[in-house]
Amino acid sequence: MKFKLRPWTISDLSSLVKYANNWNVAKNLTDKFPFPYSESNGQAFIEFATKGNPIHIFAIDVDGQAIGAIGVHPQDDIHKKNAELGYWLAEPFWGQGIMSSAIKQTIDFAFSTYAIDRVFARPFGTNMASQKVLEKNNFILEARFEKVLIKNNEYLDELIYALRRENRRK
């Protein structure tokens, strides 16, 4: 399916709320991604996503609708050679190859924009689809921390996947 990555705008608010207000999406994300997802949550997110310079949190756009988000978050201090990758996609668009391609584009952006050596992602141990899409993009499982996350009153494993600059094209 054809899509593009682009900056968020306030005109994305209705599609953001429509697609983000889904427990099947929220259950795989931190509690900073609320459920239910309200218009005020969407406004706050769009304000946050449009503050960066350069913009580094993108809307995943299909036919003019924001159907998800992907971003890379450069770290600081002793972690300054790393950036964290975060993403979500609306449920009706799962399994169509969109996220795999969006990750590839975002990784290219990250390594060409920032003086980093490593991009990492932290999916839940229960999120097999996220693990598979990272592995498809050459991310390596670096660590598993057992039962360190609490989501919906359940302990979950946190996984650390990473892609290093020197391994990204292999």
How many other C-beta atoms can be found within 10 angstroms of the C-beta atom of residue 111? Answer: 19
- Residue 61 β-bridge partners: 4, 66
Widest Cα–Cα separation across the chain: 43
- Residue 65 β-bridge partners: 62
Question: Looking at domain 4-167, what is its CATH homologous superfamily?
Answer: Gcn5-related N-acetyltransferase (GNAT) (3.40.630.30)
pTM over 0.75: yes
Mean pLDDT of 24-38: 97
Q: Mean pLDDT in the chain?
A: 97
Q: By three-state DSSP, how is residue 100 classified?
A: helix
| 54-113 pLDDT, tens digit each | 999 999 999 999 999 999 999 999 999 999 999 999 999 999 999 999 999 999 999 999
| 99-152 pLDDT, tens digit each | 999 999 999 999 999 999 999 999 999 999 999 999 999 999 999 999 999 999
